[in-house]
Amino acid sequence: MMREETWHLCEEQERVPVVEDPPGVRGTLSPALSHTQRLPHKTRKLHSALERMLDPSWNHRVYRLAIAKLTPPIIPFVPLLLKDMTFIHEGNRTLAENLINFEKMRMMAKAVRIIHHCQSHMYAPISPLRGRAPQLLEDPQALRISTCSEQSLSGRSPASTRAYLQHLKVIDNQKELSRLSRDLES
């Protein structure tokens, strides 16, 4: 399941969820799970490649080069763009000798152009169900599990999605997550 989702995200050029995927897989609790240990070599290799791409050394150089090769539409890693813009804003004076610092404005405009470039083309999603076996498409449970399918997305209203997100319970307590992990494994 995880391999299909990660591969689909790479196909769709959706790098933000892919950015969040490797830390979740290599977290302190994940290696303890027997399902994580049973991942195929190909999946573990894909995740190690994604981890190398997301390496923060050299100011995320590998990630920036990978994004530069992609064609829009792209979902950029927004925290990195915000970090760049904050660095530009706080690292350069707006006025230099009572004159506007146009170099700062050019750098800021370049950062904004990156965002504009990422959304410069219309988004045409590739179905996550494409390429799967026909019997899987007929299985109602498989369709229910696939939250990205056109059927499941078209049946949801923005109000129901908003209500779901408002009542979503996020567990960020490491002890509670460890307890739940042990309960799952036993």
Q: Is the pLDDT of residue 141 over 50?
A: no
Provide the token pair at 69. Answer: 């090769």
Cβ(64)–Cβ(15) below 8 Å: no
Least Cα distance to 77 among 50, 40, 47, 105 occurs for 50
Cis geometry, peptide bond prior to residue 73 (ω within 30 degrees of 0): yes
Residue 151 has, within 13 A of its CA and on its CB side, a CA count of 10
pLDDT in tens, 53-73: 888 999 999 999 998 899 888
* pLDDT higher at 125 or 151: 125
pLDDT in tens, 17-26: 555 555 555 5
Q: How far apart are CA 25 and CA 3, in angstroms?
A: 11
Domain boundaries, the chain: 71-124
pLDDT at 79: 92
Element (H, E) at 96: strand 95-96
Quickly state the pLDDT bin for 171 (edges 50, 70, 90).
Answer: confident
* pLDDT higher at 120 or 7: 120
Burial 74-110 (b: 16+ CB within 10 A, else e): bbbbeebeeebbeebeeeeeeeeeeeeeeebeebeee
pTM passes above 0.85: no
Give the position of tokens 């049946």.
155
pLDDT at 108: 96
pLDDT in tens, 83-114: 999 999 999 999 989 999 999 999 999 999 99
